[in-house]
Amino acid sequence: MSRPVRDRRPRRAPVGAALALAAALPLAGCYSPQLLASRGGLDSLRVRVDTLMVRDSVAYALLLDTRHELDAQRDVLLSTRASTGSTSQEVSDQMSRLGARLDEVMGRFNRLEQKSTAPSTAAAGTPTLDPGAAYEQGAQDLTQGHYTLALQEFRDFVTRFPTHDLADNAQYGVGECFFAQAKFDSASVEYAKVDKSWPGGDKVPAALYKLALCQDKLGQASDSKQTLESLVKRFPLAGEAQLARERLGQK
């Protein structure tokens, strides 16, 4: 009777377990309590990463981004551990930076978890999202360079609150996300939507000016000039109109 063949292939440890093992390395020096506290924060965050249900593409993108954040946190911990000759001030500075980054990542996960519970809350007839707070969050992520996250937040805002006073601002923010990444073709499309959908909005002059810049970057000099002239004609007192005059060589 033949014996069952055992699978002798080495098993890979989960990524989360690897991070936990790295964070659990012996911590030396008088500052080990600080590192232990940070390691505890990393362990808590690791558990939330491993158990979080990825419900849409934005959540998945943020999950990958956070994995990179965790790797960076681990590197800081290992670097601090290896730097036995560091001064107390250097260690304190390193721990402050690490704490700030942990706070930022945890804040982003808290926002993601709130979004993931929004559908069930909406079904109960309870308001789930404050428009002002939603817009401010998108603006903050844009300022911090989180373009993928800000892009989705602005688009969600436009979809949910198309008649809100900040809807044109949010649409403008979509264009800004592309412009900041030098994706001028996509940015021009999004800027044009501001004038098309909210012709009376206060963001139209800025959107037209940025549209002209995109057209110029794309080699569409004639279209860029026409957009600038339209801006000056329609909004002669806007600050962007003065910028347009300067580009047109007008007084």
In a domain, 7, yes or no: no
What is the 8-class DSSP label of residue 52? -
Q: Which of 91, 122, 153 marks a domain boundary?
A: 122
In a domain, 5, yes or no: no
Q: Which of 122, 137, 157 marks a domain boundary?
A: 122
The mean pLDDT of 181-190, rounded to a whole number, is 96
Q: Above 80 in pLDDT, residue 87?
A: no
200 exposure class (CB count in 10 Å sphere: 0-12, 13-18, 19+)? exposed
The mean pLDDT of 114-132, rounded to a whole number, is 56
Number of structural domains found in the chain: 2
Alpha carbon separation from 85 to 79, 194, 245 (Å, rounded): 11, 56, 60
d(CA 105, CA 97): 13
Q: Which position has the higher pLDDT, 222 or 82?
A: 222
Looking at the structure, do residues 159 and 243 belong to the same domain, yes or no?
yes
What is the CATH classification number for the domain harbouring 151? Answer: 1.25.40.10
Q: Which domain holds residue 111?
A: 15-122
211-227 confidence digits (pLDDT tens) = 999 999 999 999 999 99
Instruction: Note the pLDDT of residue 174.
Output: 97
Q: Above 80 in pLDDT, residue 123?
A: no
Looking at the structure, do residues 180 and 80 belong to the same domain, yes or no?
no
The mean pLDDT of 41-56, rounded to a whole number, is 56
In a domain, 199, yes or no: yes
d(CA 184, CA 176): 10
In a domain, 10, yes or no: no
Q: Which of 19-28, 79-88, 171-180 has the highest mean pLDDT?
A: 171-180
- Asked whether the beta carbons of 208 and 221 are under 8 A apart, the reply is no
d(CA 232, CA 228): 6
At 25, phi and psi to the nearest 5? -60, 150
Full-model pTM = 0.53
145-184 confidence digits (pLDDT tens) = 999 999 999 999 999 999 999 999 999 999 999 999 999 9
- Asked whether the beta carbons of 215 and 188 are under 8 A apart, the reply is yes
- Asked whether the beta carbons of 72 and 16 are under 8 A apart, the reply is no
Q: Which of 101, 122, 143 marks a domain boundary?
A: 122
Looking at the structure, do residues 137 and 240 belong to the same domain, yes or no?
yes
Q: Which of 109, 127, 34 is nearest to 69 (CA)?
A: 109
Q: Tokens 């959540």 correspond to what residue? A: 59
Looking at the structure, do residues 133 and 118 belong to the same domain, yes or no?
no
Amino acid identity for residue 112 in this structure: L
In a domain, 2, yes or no: no
d(CA 179, CA 222): 20
In a domain, 1, yes or no: no
Looking at the structure, do residues 137 and 237 belong to the same domain, yes or no?
yes
Angle at 167 between CA 163 and CA 172, to 5 degrees: 150
d(CA 155, CA 247): 31
In a domain, 39, yes or no: yes
Looking at the structure, do residues 178 and 195 belong to the same domain, yes or no?
yes
Looking at the structure, do residues 104 and 191 belong to the same domain, yes or no?
no
Looking at the structure, do residues 37 and 94 belong to the same domain, yes or no?
yes
What is the 8-class DSSP label of residue 10? P
